Amino acid sequence: MPSSRIAIFPGSFDPLTNGHLDVIRRTTRLFDRVIVAVLVNQEKRAVFTVDERVAMINEACAGIGEPGQVTGDAFEGLLVHYAARQGACAVVRGLRSGVDFDYERPMALMNAHLAPEIETVCVIGADRLAHISSRLVKEVAGLGGSVEGLLPDAIAQRLVARLRAGKSTRLNSSH
Ligand code: PNS
């Protein structure tokens, strides 16, 4: 038995939302350490760089659980290889709906096929946060809607500023 039980919470986190934070909070009650791991995915067009996303995770999670219990990191390649390198016994994923379940099930089964010793733990978040996704939050912010209550204030400010900057760059370059 490992002396400290480590869970990996992987994802894109572009950006981290209050839904993610809820899952992280719940996960700290189950594991000694939680590593929130950003996938380095060159193909995906992201608003924030991987380093920015990890920094925002560390900032937003600083007060969650015991000091140092939650940390941000980045990983490339197979999740189960990264989890094994970290000495993790579990991969945590948040479930909002049956749609999430259908998305998660094949990934959990593939990960179990590749690494049977690593368990996938699905955490059901609070119902009042079930409408939140990074994709929808970016869409709302990009179209000038309020993102209050959807993500930590500091991240919301950065997201609005980043999307505004992107818009002005596009407007300038179209003239
Ligand atoms: O938040 P996301 O974008 O839905 O997260 C998806 C993620 C990062 C969990 C998934 O794409 C992943 O684990 N990628 C790493 C590559 C891998 O291990 N693939 C095979 C197992 S399905």
**What is the Cα–Cα distance from 42 to 149, expressed in whole angstroms?**
30
Determine if ligand 1 sits within 6 Å of the CB of residue 11: yes
Round to the nearest angstrom and report the end-to-end CA distance of the chain: 63
pLDDT of residue 172: 59
SS3 for the chain is: CCCCCEEEEEECCCCCCHHHHHHHHHHHCCCCEEEEEEECCCCCCCCCCHHHHHHHHHHHHCCCCCCCCEEEEEECCCHHHHHHHHCCCEEEEEECCHHHHHHHHHHHHHHHHHCCCCEEEEEECCHHHCCCCHHHHHHHHHCCCCCCCCCCHHHHHHHHHHHHHHHHHHHHHCC
Tens of pLDDT along the chain (175 residues)?
Answer: 556 999 999 999 999 999 999 999 999 999 999 999 999 987 778 999 999 999 999 999 999 999 999 999 999 999 999 999 999 999 999 999 999 999 999 999 999 999 999 999 999 999 999 999 999 999 999 999 999 999 999 999 999 999 988 876 665 554 4
Nearest residue to 150 via CA among 124, 132, 138 = 132
How many Å separate Cα 18 from the centre of its chain? 10
Determine if ligand 1 sits within 6 Å of the CB of residue 111: yes
Peptide bond into 15 cis (omega under 30): yes
Q: What is the 170 CA–ligand 1 centroid distance (Å)?
A: 31
The reply to whether 167 belongs to the active site is no
Q: What is the pTM of this model?
A: 0.94
pLDDT of residue 175: 46
Q: What is the 79 CA–ligand 1 centroid distance (Å)?
A: 7
The reply to whether 134 belongs to the active site is yes
The reply to whether 138 belongs to the active site is no
**What is the Cα–Cα distance from 169 to 166, expressed in whole angstroms?**
5
**What is the Cα–Cα distance from 75 to 79, expressed in whole angstroms?**
8
Residues 23 and 94 sit within 8 Å (Cβ to Cβ): yes
Nearest residue to 36 via CA among 48, 25, 49, 47 = 25
Determine if ligand 1 sits within 6 Å of the CB of residue 55: no
Q: What is the 149 CA–ligand 1 centroid distance (Å)?
A: 26
pLDDT of residue 39: 98
pLDDT of residue 168: 65
